[in-house]
């Protein structure tokens, strides 16, 4: 049995690598420009979803949970492609985006949470971050809720991740630290 152990280990390793969800080349290039890395979810849990054009907010990539209702959309804006004034005030860009995407219903509530300094430094390698919870407008998503995470890293990018769902599950928490800026050259 021990003589087959290396072969079994190799087969397991090859299947694990193949089980990664593959991002399109254009999205990978965008992540490189923004100096971002994504911890890819296992392919058998998520499936790529086509990007839907809408007037409220563009995004470059979308995936959904195969079992469950979680959809994740990525809007990546590398600093090189942005006006330097926008990069200087990511909180204004973020608030404007929430105002555009949140439902205008009388009973709608928007909740904001600043990302902790510790998480910004250790989990995201970002200078600024904000989480917003709201009910999205129907034109953006038919889901009941949106958790919007926006991260900003100076001279790198502003990235916004939309977690769209009907019911809160552990899947939402499992994706909390799925994205991180790459270390700056000469830095950690």
| Residue at 120 is within a domain | yes
Residues 33, 1: Cα–Cα separation, whole Å: 48
For position 20, what pLDDT does the model report?
A: 54
| Residue at 71 is within a domain | yes
Q: Could you write out the DSSP letters of every residue in 25-92?
A: HHHHHHHHHHTEEE-PPBTTTEEEE-----SS---SEEEEESSSS-EEEEEEEEGGGS-HHHHH-HHH
| Residue at 108 is within a domain | yes
**Tokens standing for 123?**
């989990």
| Residue at 188 is within a domain | no
Residues 133, 117: Cα–Cα separation, whole Å: 20
> Is the pLDDT higher at 99 or at 21?
99
Residues 36, 124: Cα–Cα separation, whole Å: 9
> Is the pLDDT higher at 40 or at 168?
168
For position 174, what pLDDT does the model report?
A: 77
> Is the pLDDT higher at 170 or at 99?
99
pLDDT band at 18 (very low <50, low <70, confident <90, very high): very low
> Is the pLDDT higher at 39 or at 42?
39
- The enclosing domain of 170 has a CATH number of 3.40.1000
- Counting DSSP H helices and E strands in the chain, the numbers are 6, 9
Of 4-18, 46-60, 80-94, which has the strongest mean pLDDT?
Answer: 46-60
Range of the domain at 54: 2-181
Q: How many domains does the chain have?
A: 1
| Residue at 37 is within a domain | yes
> Is the pLDDT higher at 135 or at 41?
135
| Residue at 187 is within a domain | no
pLDDT single digits (tens) 78-110: 987 665 555 568 889 899 999 999 999 888 899
SS3 (DSSP) at 145: strand
**CB of 78 within 8 A of CB of 157?**
yes
| pTM metric for this prediction | 0.82
Is the pLDDT confidence value at 188 over 70?
no
| Residue at 69 is within a domain | yes
Residues 164, 149: Cα–Cα separation, whole Å: 11
Is the pLDDT confidence value at 12 over 60?
no
**CB of 116 within 8 A of CB of 128?**
no
**CB of 142 within 8 A of CB of 49?**
no
**CB of 147 within 8 A of CB of 168?**
no
pLDDT band at 114 (very low <50, low <70, confident <90, very high): very high
| Residue at 186 is within a domain | no
């Amino acid at each position: 049995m021990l003589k087959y152990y290396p072969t079994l280990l190799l087969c397991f390793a090859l299947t694990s690598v193949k089980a990664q969800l593959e991002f399109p080349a254009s999205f990978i290039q965008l992540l490189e420009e923004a100096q971002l890395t994504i911890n890819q979810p296992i392919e058998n849990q998520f499936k790529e979803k086509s990007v839907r054009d809408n007037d409220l907010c563009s995004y470059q990539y979308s995936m959904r949970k195969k079992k469950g209702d979680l959809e994740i959309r990525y809007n990546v804006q590398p600093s090189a492609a942005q006006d330097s004034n926008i990069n200087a005030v990511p909180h204004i860009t973020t608030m404007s985006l929430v105002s555009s995407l949140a439902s205008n219903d009388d009973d709608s509530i928007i909740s904001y949470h600043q990302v902790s300094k510790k998480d910004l430094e250790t989990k995201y390698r970002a200078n600024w971050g904000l989480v917003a919870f709201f009910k999205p407008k129907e034109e953006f998503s038919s889901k009941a809720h949106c958790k919007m995470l926006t991260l900003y890293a100076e001279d790198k990018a502003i990235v916004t991740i939309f977690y769209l769902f009907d019911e809160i599950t552990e899947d939402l928490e499992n994706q909390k630290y799925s994205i991180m800026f790459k270390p700056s050259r000469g830095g950690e």
